[in-house]
């Protein structure tokens, strides 16, 4: 026999009934008034947007026209798919009827273990919600499978169709609606609709904050402040130019390795992902291991820097940082780290330096960084000439840069259930304030992209893959990564949706020096920022580098916990002897200001 259906709260009242009809009615009146204002403002904003930009910047209309054209050529596939769907529905109805009669029935379909949307126990214990859940999961699976069966689509169109079909399915999840989400429905009845009133207020605040665009708060934006409770590792800005500030961190050991460590973070976000707080700061940990740590803090560019190029980021970013580190320490040779797009720039720069016989960089570590973009993951769906041209036009209209909020939205779409819809439910349906989470504050602290640099990067790397092909040209030099023969450490993450481990692994065949490849648990951020004290996740290692990453994984060794000590063991052997610890400003560079510096605080 099945468990009795639970429909009452702890106090004996029904969990799914109105507690105070009068109060509920008053709140529904407030919801109606706020909704009217919301719709009016939305329509006004949409009119302005449609007059200022392309109606279909992602070119989805033509993409789905192409898809439907191919689908109509194989009507048998669609008929068979619809038949299978109805069969599934009938089976589900039968299972539901059996359960209503008190029989124990196994679910026809269940969410994946990583799907957090259906964690509330009423999704399984209350029959109607279990039926809604399974109906949705069957339909979502049917949509994805039907799309996959259509023949004749070119690979890019297929990937784009599959990606946006999933976005559509995620948006239609019953968890995203008041009357089909048991947690929201219980809260609505319990609070007499007060959650919906608060939720609409949160929605209006976010629309006003985004100046007409929905800017969902993922965390308490007022609680965090860079330099106060974020980016607090003691250090000094010792050099700056128009593109970057260079931070040298205070030593925490009496001696340090002779060879400094210079880090190039991505400029799509602020550098302090590497220095969030005391308990999860890579920078603070690296200084405790005896490294003289320098970090580049990129400027948040505006229209004045619109024509700065990828080559400028190499010259003003990497080369001037190398010169500054030498002045600050008296040491010419350095070890480097490049994170994400900072790693892509570092890869290109290493090829350029190899061509010029410049040997100042003696090792390179890459955090979640790609040099070969042939399997660059879901971000590729945004890269075709029509979309790039629309993006370029928008950047020109904006003053020569891509607004950081647009870039953040793109990345959030790659994990829409976690980074969009979960907050829609929490903030707008449940009417709750977002939790305080330093990582999500950093995620929202996005930066702008100069048009010249960004379009070069998207076309040369994502669209043409010219760096891996040996066709990229910087400062008149055609770049050949096979000339790079210094020691390389490649970090990847098993669940990385931005720099997939398959893509990172391809770099093992591009560089020709000694290469160490490692795969961490978790994703693009948590896979990198995993302090040993947290005792979380795991990592995989393998001294062999077969042609296929699947073969590497099959023969790899798994180790629990953080990979940082494994990397430290690798880098310490390349860092020279120990010398007296260096204090920022004690050599040829003077202190400009305290870390984190003005660039990190720039909005």
Band of residue 6 on the pLDDT scale cut at 50, 70, 90: very low
Question: What is the tens place of the pLDDT at every residue in 450-507?
Answer: 999 999 999 999 999 999 999 999 999 999 999 999 999 999 999 999 999 999 999 9
Q: Please tell me the predicted confidence (pLDDT) of residue 534.
A: 94
Peptide bond into 596 cis (omega under 30): yes
Number of helical H runs and strand E runs in the chain: 23, 17
Question: What is the tens place of the pLDDT at every residue in 171-195?
Answer: 999 999 999 999 999 999 999 999 9
378-387, 391-400, 492-501, range with the lowest pLDDT: 378-387
In Å, how far are 251, 528, 540 from 114, measured between CA atoms?
41, 20, 21
pLDDT for residue 215 is more than 90:
no
Of 140, 305, 340, 376, which one is the catalytic site residue?
340
Percent with pLDDT over 70 in the chain? 94
11-25, 270-284, 481-495, range with the lowest pLDDT: 11-25
Calpha distance 316→249 (Å, rounded): 21
Residue ranges of the alpha helices (H) in 252-401? 282-288, 310-312, 320-329, 341-355, 385-397
Identify the three-state secondary structure at position 566.
helix
Q: Please tell me the predicted confidence (pLDDT) of residue 26.
A: 87
Q: Which helix (H) or strand (E) holds 83?
A: helix 75-100
pLDDT for residue 11 is more than 50:
no
Q: What is the DSSP letter of 8?
A: B
Q: Please tell me the predicted confidence (pLDDT) of residue 19.
A: 84
Mean residue pLDDT of the chain comes to 91
Residue ranges of the alpha helices (H) in 152-241? 155-171, 182-190, 194-209
In Å, how far are 6, 108, 130, 145 from 135, measured between CA atoms?
21, 10, 8, 15
Percent with pLDDT over 90 in the chain? 73
Question: What is the tens place of the pLDDT at every residue in 105-119?
Answer: 899 999 999 899 999
- 525 within 8 A of 507, measured Cβ to Cβ: no
Question: What is the tens place of the pLDDT at every residue in 554-584?
Answer: 999 999 999 999 999 999 999 999 999 999 9
Q: What is the mean pLDDT of residues 266-280?
A: 94
Q: Which residues of 138-177 are buried (b: 16+ CB within 10 A; e: fewer)?
A: bebebbeebbeebeebeeebbebbbbbbbeebbeebbbbe
Calpha distance 559→421 (Å, rounded): 34
Q: To the nearest 10°, report the CA torsion of 344, 347, 348, 354.
A: 170
- 505 within 8 A of 549, measured Cβ to Cβ: yes
pLDDT for residue 51 is more than 60:
no
Q: Please tell me the predicted confidence (pLDDT) of residue 239.
A: 98
Q: What is the mean pLDDT of residues 120-124?
A: 95
Long-range Cβ contact pairs of 195-199 (< 8 A, separation 24 or more): 195/429, 195/430, 195/431, 195/432, 196/27, 196/28, 196/31, 196/429, 196/431, 197/27, 197/30, 197/31, 197/34, 197/431, 198/431, 198/432, 199/427, 199/428, 199/429, 199/430, 199/431
Q: Please tell me the predicted confidence (pLDDT) of residue 24.
A: 85
Q: Cα angle at 326 between 321 and 327, to 5 degrees?
A: 95
pLDDT for residue 1 is more than 80:
no
21-30, 37-46, 81-90, 379-388, range with the lowest pLDDT: 37-46
pLDDT for residue 12 is more than 50:
no
Question: What is the tens place of the pLDDT at every residue in 19-43?
Answer: 888 888 888 888 887 777 777 766 6
Q: Which helix (H) or strand (E) holds 492?
A: strand 488-493
Q: Please tell me the predicted confidence (pLDDT) of residue 463.
A: 95
Q: What is the DSSP letter of 305?
A: G
Q: Is 461 a catalytic residue?
A: no
Band of residue 59 on the pLDDT scale cut at 50, 70, 90: low
- Length of the chain, in residues: 603
Q: Please tell me the predicted confidence (pLDDT) of residue 378.
A: 86
Calpha distance 413→231 (Å, rounded): 27
Q: Please tell me the predicted confidence (pLDDT) of residue 240.
A: 98
pLDDT for residue 377 is more than 80:
yes
Question: What is the tens place of the pLDDT at every residue in 291-336?
Answer: 999 999 999 999 999 999 999 999 999 999 999 999 999 999 999 9
Identify the three-state secondary structure at position 581.
coil
Calpha distance 320→316 (Å, rounded): 5
In sequence order, the 6+-apart residues with CB closer than 8 A to the CB of 299 are 242, 243, 244, 245, 305, 599, 602
Calpha distance 147→67 (Å, rounded): 8
Domains in the chain, CATH or no CATH each: 21-209 (no CATH), 235-403+448-601 (3.40.50.1820)
Q: Please tell me the predicted confidence (pLDDT) of residue 374.
A: 94
């Amino acid at each position: 026999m099945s468990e009795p259906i639970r429909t009452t709260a702890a106090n004996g009242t029904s969990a799914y009934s109105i507690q105070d009809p009068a109060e509920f009615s008053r709140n529904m009146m407030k919801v109606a008034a706020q909704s009217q204002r919301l719709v009016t403002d939305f329509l006004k904003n949409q009119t302005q947007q449609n007059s200022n930009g392309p109606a279909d910047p992602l070119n989805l209309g033509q993409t789905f026209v192409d898809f439907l054209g191919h689908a109509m050529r194989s009507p048998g596939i669609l008929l068979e798919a619809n038949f299978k769907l109805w069969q599934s529905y009938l089976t589900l109805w039968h299972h539901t009827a059996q359960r209503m009669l008190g029989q124990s029935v196994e679910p026809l379909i269940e969410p994946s273990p990583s799907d957090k949307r259906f964690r509330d126990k009423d999704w399984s214990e209350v029959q109607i919600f279990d039926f809604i859940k399974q109906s949705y999961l069957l339909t979502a699976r049917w949509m994805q499978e039907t799309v996959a069966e259509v023949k004749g689509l070119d690979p890019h169109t297929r990937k784009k169709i599959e990606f946006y079909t999933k976005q559509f399915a995620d948006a239609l999840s019953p968890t995203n609606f008041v009357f089909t989400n048991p947690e929201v429905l219980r809260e609505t009845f319990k609070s007499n609709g007060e959650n919906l009133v608060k939720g609409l207020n949160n929605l209006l605040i976010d629309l006003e904050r985004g100046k007409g665009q929905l800017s969902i708060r993922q965390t308490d934006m007022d609680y965090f402040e860079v330099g106060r409770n974020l980016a607090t590792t003691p250090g000094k800005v010792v050099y700056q130019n128009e593109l970057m500030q260079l931070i040298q961190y205070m030593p925490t050991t009496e001696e340090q390795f002779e060879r400094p460590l210079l880090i190039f973070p991505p400029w799509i976000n602020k550098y302090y992902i590497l220095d969030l707080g005391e308990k999860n700061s890579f920078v603070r940990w690296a200084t405790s291991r005896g490294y003289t740590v320098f970090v580049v803090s990129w400027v948040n560019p505006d229209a004045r820097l619109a024509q700065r190029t990828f080559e400028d980021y190499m010259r003003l970013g990497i080369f001037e940082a190398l010169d500054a580190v030498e002045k600050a320490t008296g040491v010419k040779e350095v070890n480097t780290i490049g994170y994400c797009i900072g790693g892509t720039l570092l890869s290109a720069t290493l090829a350029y330096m190899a061509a010029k016989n410049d040997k100042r960089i003696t090792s390179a570590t890459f955090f979640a960084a790609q040099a070969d973009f042939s399997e660059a993951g879901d971000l590729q769906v945004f890269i075709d000439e029509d979309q790039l041209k629309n993006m370029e036009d928008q950047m020109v209209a904006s003053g020569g840069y891509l607004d950081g909020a647009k870039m953040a939205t793109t990345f959030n779409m790659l994990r829409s259930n976690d980074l969009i819809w979960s907050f829609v439910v929490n903030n707008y349906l449940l009417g709750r304030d977002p939790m305080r989470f330093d990582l999500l504050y950093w995620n929202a602290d996005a930066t702008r992209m100069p048009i010249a640099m960004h379009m070069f990067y998207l076309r040369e790397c994502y669209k043409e893959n010219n760096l891996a092909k040996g066709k990229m040209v910087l400062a008149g030099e055609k770049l050949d990564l096979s000339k790079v023969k210094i020691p390389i450490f490649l970090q990847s993450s098993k669940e990385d949706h931005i720099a997939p481990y398959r893509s990172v692994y391809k770099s093992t065949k591009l560089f020709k020096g000694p290469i160490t490849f490692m795969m961490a648990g978790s994703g693009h951020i948590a896979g990198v920022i995993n302090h040993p004290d947290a005792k979380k996740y795991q990592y995989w290692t393998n001294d062999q580098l077969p042609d296929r990453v699947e073969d590497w994984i099959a023969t790899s060794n798994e180790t629990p916990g953080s990979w940082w000590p494994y990397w430290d063991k690798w880098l310490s052997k390349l860092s020279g002897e120990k010398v007296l610890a260096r204090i920022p400003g004690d050599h040829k560079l003077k202190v400009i200001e305290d870390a984190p510096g003005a660039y990190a605080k720039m909005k």
